[in-house]
Amino acid sequence: MSPLHPANTSSLDSYWMPFTANRQFKAAPRLLSAAKGIYYTSIDEREILDGTSGLWCVNAGHGRAAIADAVSRQLQVMDYAPSFQMGHPIAFDFAARLAAMSPGGPEAGLDRIFFAGSGSEAVDSALKIAVAYQRAIGQGTRTRLIGRERGYHGVGFGGISVGGLVNNRRVFPQLPGTDHLRHTHDLARNAFSKGLPEHGAELADDLERLVGLHGAETIAAVIVEPVAGSTGVLPPPRGYLERLRDICTRHGILLIFDEVITGFGRLGSPFAVDHFGVVPDMVTTAKGLTNGCVPMGAVFASRKIHDALMQGPEAQIELFHGYTYSGHPVACAAGLATLDIYRQEGLLTRGADIAPKWRDAMHSLAGLPHVIDIRTIGLVAGIELASRDGAIGARAHDLFVDCFERGLLIRVTGDIIALSPPLIIEPDQIDQIVTTLADGLKRLA
Ligand SMILES: Cc1ncc(COP(=O)(O)O)c(C=O)c1O
């Protein structure tokens, strides 16, 4: 029997699982043992369609041989090398490749790459770079960081401080000097929008309110997800991001887009910056950066920010920040092979071709029991269910378990189902997602 067979429960005890109801899970585990293309195999050898690209990260699909080969080669040539006061060519190569395809194209100038080990680390890096930049240009009073309600920026203390998901915050202390814009979710005005919701651009003016409250000279940066993902898929209201950009520019506030989910083709464009045509000062990425194969994060910083910090005596370290695994050679090898696949298969724009099919398929679930909203953009969908009285999340959790038993992996947050399949998905697989969901919704209490 496999050591991980559900019957062998003692082997489940040691692993303290992240973001998981550990006791509930271990009483009835859902275990995956293999993955290829768009399917997982469960430990009891069932095929499970991956409706979530793992955790929004396996954009090119599972089991890509070219990535495995590149990783294996790199491990044999040089497994690890330090990145502090030392370098290795593959990290420079990967940074150069990313710079050449940076969000917004060459004119946006977001082509200075800082490597981290995850999305959370990329976010904390960007927040620290923002504060360091403001100080470097003589704006040292600008230390305040602004996020948004319902935002998710990982789980570091920086990320939860600017994040806006209450369960991630309530137990933990946060950075002083943060504040939040209101979220943009508005079912009353925007339910069942296809693409961008019409109402809510004026919510960006919250930043003016916070400038009035705190003083612009105290604010270093604003960070938002261009499309909020983990909170349950909230595309930005039409005109919202443009307005936020204008207000930031007017007040000398840096704008950071957290593209850990939207980066690398999720919206049908390489980045949300390209999709919306709004250029921030920094972009944080992870996940699709290496097709989820090796943990890695990266900040795309503007030259303006980078160059402002490249000052002072040459022997001086310009930014006292970095990680043991910044620019890890194995992650860089995975990343380079991933970018090759994206380019060869046109995956960074494939979402745009398949988005109309995806949108129509998802919206065909309107009218089914419990469905109170459906939101789609690119290859992302959020399906919001009415909550049971006094049991937020229970209904969606039941659907999640039911779908898994019937061969579909979905993700739920509260009572919202979030879908984000690999960018290689085919139309009949989209139909399989819809059929499985529809059956489940009809039987759901
Ligand atoms: C927008 C966003 N930022 C940051 C993160 C954190 O990334 P990680 O889990 O790699 O630390 C996530 C993860 O889902 C995310 O969606």
**DSSP assignments along 166-234, one per residue:** HHHHTTS---SSEEEEPP---HHHHTT-BSS-SS-GGGGGHHHHHHHHH-GGGEEEEEE-SSB-TTT-B
**Ligand 1 contact, 118 CB (< 6 A):** yes
Question: What distance in angstroms lies between residue 227's CA and the mean position of ligand 1's atoms?
Answer: 13
For residue 1, what pLDDT is reported?
44
The list of the chain residues with pLDDT below 50 reads 1, 3
| Domain 31-60+346-443, CATH homologous superfamily name and number | Aspartate Aminotransferase, domain 1 (3.90.1150.10)
**Ligand 1 contact, 292 CB (< 6 A):** no
3-state secondary structure of 4: coil
The rounded distance, in Å, linking the Cα atoms of 147 and 211 is 13
Q: In a mutational test of the pocket of ligand 1, which residue from 52, 261, 264 has the highest number of ligand atoms less than 8 Å from its CB?
A: 261
Cα 323 from chain centroid (whole Å)? 20
The rounded distance, in Å, linking the Cα atoms of 52 and 330 is 25
Find the radius of gyration of the CA atoms of the chain: 22
Structure tokens belonging to residue 396: 């969606």
**Ligand 1 contact, 119 CB (< 6 A):** yes
Question: What distance in angstroms lies between residue 436's CA and the mean position of ligand 1's atoms?
Answer: 28
Q: In a mutational test of the pocket of ligand 1, which residue from 148, 259, 287 has the highest number of ligand atoms less than 8 Å from its CB?
A: 287
The DSSP-derived string for 107-160 is GG---EEEEESSHHHHHHHHHHHHHHHHHHTT-TT--EEEEETT----SSHHHH
What residue owns the CA closest to ligand 1's atom 13? 154
For residue 415, what pLDDT is reported?
98
Q: In a mutational test of the pocket of ligand 1, which residue from 121, 223, 230 has the highest number of ligand atoms less than 8 Å from its CB?
A: 230
Residues of the chain with CATH 3.90.1150.10: 31-60+346-443
Residues 370, 385 contacting (CB under 8 angstroms): yes
Question: What distance in angstroms lies between residue 297's CA and the mean position of ligand 1's atoms?
Answer: 9
Longest dimension (CA), the chain: 68
Q: In a mutational test of the pocket of ligand 1, which residue from 55, 148, 152 has the highest number of ligand atoms less than 8 Å from its CB?
A: 152
- Residue 65, burial from CB neighbour count under 10 angstroms (0-12, 13-18, 19+): exposed
259 Cα nearest atom in ligand 1: 1
3-state secondary structure of 327: coil
**Ligand 1 contact, 104 CB (< 6 A):** no
Residues of the chain with CATH 3.40.640.10: 69-344
For residue 195, what pLDDT is reported?
86
Q: Which of 133, 196, 154 is nearest to 284 (CA)?
A: 154
Q: Could you give phi then psi for residue 382, rounded to 5 degrees?
A: -120, 125
Question: What distance in angstroms lies between residue 153's CA and the mean position of ligand 1's atoms?
Answer: 6
The rounded distance, in Å, linking the Cα atoms of 107 and 236 is 24
- DSSP label of 441: H
The kind and range of the H/E element at 255 are strand 254-258
Q: In a mutational test of the pocket of ligand 1, which residue from 153, 260, 289 has the highest number of ligand atoms less than 8 Å from its CB?
A: 260
For residue 146, what pLDDT is reported?
98
The rounded distance, in Å, linking the Cα atoms of 52 and 348 is 17
The rounded distance, in Å, linking the Cα atoms of 61 and 52 is 11
**Ligand 1 contact, 288 CB (< 6 A):** no
CA angle 218, 220, 227 (to 5 degrees): 130
**Ligand 1 contact, 230 CB (< 6 A):** yes
For residue 6, what pLDDT is reported?
52
Sequence-separated (6 or more) residues with CB below 8 Å from residue 185: 150, 231, 234
**Ligand 1 contact, 154 CB (< 6 A):** yes
- Class of the CATH domain delimited by 69-344: alpha beta
The rounded distance, in Å, linking the Cα atoms of 71 and 343 is 19
To which residue do tokens 């960081």 refer? 145
**Ligand 1 contact, 67 CB (< 6 A):** no
